[in-house]
């Protein structure tokens, strides 16, 4: 069975709105479009009951119920318990707070492994702990392909290692890292594993019960929702954290690692994501006895196949050009390489390519995307960065064909 793209696109107002309908949008790793189920819920919250939730009056109760619905939906989606998740303003902030909350565990000389493949969100907050005598060990990407080699991690890990921080999928290189193997190595020496799922979650529905990590974070504004970040920790790992909110909120899972407090309307809208996934499931598979998590996973098998097809359409063109360097693998497989494709063209600065594509109503990104260390490790000029084409399941073959033809017309002949 194939993903019914007409049905998919009909759920997203952006594909029919006058301002956006003519655009081929490929900057999804920067933030995706939202289905009507999300924008409707957000509008409903603001218009119908934008009041302090959990109060005595009906409007307030309704506001609280909608937030509760979202906490339950997001937890179910990733097969987690509600008290294992924190929904905070962003992944960067969630990681920062997590790092502070674990600081008390470490002594001078303890080691934390970070990569130079990650987005800075899962690097900088850990590196800051060196101010307290913690030693940072860097797991470096291969200079040619930008990939992380497990043998290098084996060399870095020792009985001094306390945490291994690594992305599930780089926002530039696109390869899915073997998190089970990483976690196995880290756990062998008693270290915790902090996984960044921001570039992974738009493509895969992870299962917190089997992912094998201790902490996992992703951003809902890149997964068809509002601008929030979800942080999951296993109960055992959460017990190791120190609360970072007000002292009287110490035992409240929604506040402990979220000193800001929940952002009401943004959270209330998140149930629109799972509502959309369920609509997709019902359309493709009919009524089902499966739970929400299993339904989403089944739907995402179709998503994975579709995204791999799109990615290979672009990769097949790019890899035939001698003047283009692709970051990471030049072939996509579901679960192997995401449809996030970064490249550098010898003949033209990345920003110029993005600008010229924009003239044809094609939206791509250009720059370092806060994976500055990765760009530098690959010997590229950070001022120029890369062009990034990030596709998700609502992109179409027609859009990718237009992209390929337009790149071909912009760049000088091969
Ligand atoms: C791989 C990756 N990790 C982390 C982040 C940070 O997420 P947020 O913007 O929610 O802080 C991003 C944002 O682009 C990202 O791409």
Ligand 1 atom at minimum distance from 171 CA: 1
Give the separation between CA 295 and CA 291, rounded to whole angstroms. 6
CA 414 / ligand 1 centre spacing (Å):
35
- Over 90: is that where the pLDDT of 329 sits? yes
Probe target for ligand 1 pocket from 219, 222, 386, with the most ligand atoms within 8 Å of CB: 219
Q: What is the pLDDT of residue 291?
A: 98
The Cα-based distances of 176 to 117, 169, 203, 360 in angstroms read 12, 5, 11, 31
Q: What is the pLDDT of residue 181?
A: 98
- Over 70: is that where the pLDDT of 414 sits? no
Q: What is the pLDDT of residue 180?
A: 97
* Region 20-43 average pLDDT: 98
pLDDT digits (tens, 9 = 90+) for 207-250: 999 999 999 999 999 999 999 999 999 999 999 999 999 999 99
Ligand 1 atom at minimum distance from 370 CA: 14
* Region 307-327 average pLDDT: 97
CA 374 / ligand 1 centre spacing (Å):
14
Q: Please state, rounded to an integer, the average pLDDT across all residues of the chain.
A: 97
Q: What is the pLDDT of residue 175?
A: 96
Report residues whose beta carbon is within 6 angstroms of any ligand 1 atom. 29, 90-92, 119, 121, 167, 171, 196, 198-199, 219, 229
Q: What is the pLDDT of residue 162?
A: 98
Cα radius of gyration rounded to whole Å, the chain:
21
CA 340 / ligand 1 centre spacing (Å):
14
pLDDT digits (tens, 9 = 90+) for 130-180: 999 999 999 999 999 999 999 999 999 999 999 999 999 999 999 999 999
Probe target for ligand 1 pocket from 96, 116, 168, 199, with the most ligand atoms within 8 Å of CB: 199
* Region 269-290 average pLDDT: 98
Q: What is the pLDDT of residue 412?
A: 84
Fold for 42-272, please state it.
3.40.640
Query: Structural domain boundaries of the chain?
Result: 5-34+291-410, 42-272
* Region 55-84 average pLDDT: 98
Percent of the residues in the chain that have a pLDDT greater than 90, as a whole number: 99
pLDDT digits (tens, 9 = 90+) for 72-126: 999 999 999 999 999 999 999 999 999 999 999 999 999 999 999 999 999 999 9
* Region 351-372 average pLDDT: 98
- Over 90: is that where the pLDDT of 380 sits? yes
Ligand 1 atom at minimum distance from 90 CA: 10
Q: What is the pLDDT of residue 413?
A: 79
Q: What is the pLDDT of residue 22?
A: 96
Probe target for ligand 1 pocket from 97, 119, 220, with the most ligand atoms within 8 Å of CB: 119
CATH number attached to the domain at 5-34+291-410: 3.90.1150.10
């Amino acid at each position: 069975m194939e993903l019914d793209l007409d049905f998919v696109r009909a759920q997203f107002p952006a594909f029919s709105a006058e301002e956006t309908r003519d655009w081929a949008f490929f900057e999804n790793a920067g933030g995706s479009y939202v289905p009507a189920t999300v924008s409707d819920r957000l509008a409903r919250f603001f218009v119908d009951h934008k009041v302090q939730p959990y109060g005595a009056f009906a409007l307030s109760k309704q506001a609280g119920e909608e937030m509760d619905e979202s906490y339950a939906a997001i937890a179910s989606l990733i097969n987690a318990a509600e008290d294992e998740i924190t929904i905070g303003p962003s992944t960067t902030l969630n990681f920062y707070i997590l790092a502070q909350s674990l600081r008390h565990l470490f002594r001078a000389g303890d080691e934390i492994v970070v990569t130079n493949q990650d987005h800075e969100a899962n690097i900088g907050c850990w590196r800051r702990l060196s101010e307290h005598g913690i030693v940072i060990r860097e797991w470096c990407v291969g200079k040619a392909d930008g990939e992380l080699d497990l043998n290098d991690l084996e060399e870095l890990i020792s009985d001094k290692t306390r945490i291994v921080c690594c992305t599930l999928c780089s926002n530039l290189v696109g390869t899915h890292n073997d998190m089970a193997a990483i976690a196995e190595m880290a756990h062998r020496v008693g270290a915790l594993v902090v996984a960044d799922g921001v570039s992974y979650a738009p493509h895969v529905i992870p299962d917190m019960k089997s992912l094998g990590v201790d902490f996992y974070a992703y951003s809902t504004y890149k997964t068809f929702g509002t601008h929030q970040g979800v942080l999951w920790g296993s109960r055992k790992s959460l017990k190791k954290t120190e609360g970072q909110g007000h002292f009287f909120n110490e035992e409240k899972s929604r506040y402990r690692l979220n000193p800001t407090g929940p952002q009401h309307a943004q959270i209330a809208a998140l149930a629109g994501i799972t509502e959309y996934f369920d609509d997709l499931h019902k359309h493709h598979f009919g009524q089902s006895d499966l739970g929400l998590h299993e339904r989403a996973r089944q739907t995402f098998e179709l998503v994975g196949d579709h995204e791999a097809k799109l990615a290979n359409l672009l990769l097949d063109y790019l890899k035939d050009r001698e003047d283009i360097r692709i970051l990471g693998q030049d072939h996509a497989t579901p679960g192997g390489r995401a449809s996030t494709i970064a490249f550098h063209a010898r003949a033209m600065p990345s920003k110029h390519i993005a600008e010229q594509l924009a003239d044809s109503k094609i939206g791509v990104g250009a720059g370092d995307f806060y994976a500055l260390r990765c760009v530098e490790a690959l010997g590229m000029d950070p001022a120029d960065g890369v062009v990034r084409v990030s596709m998700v399941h609502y992109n179409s073959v027609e859009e990718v064909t237009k992209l390929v033809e337009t790149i071909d017309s912009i760049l000088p002949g091969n």
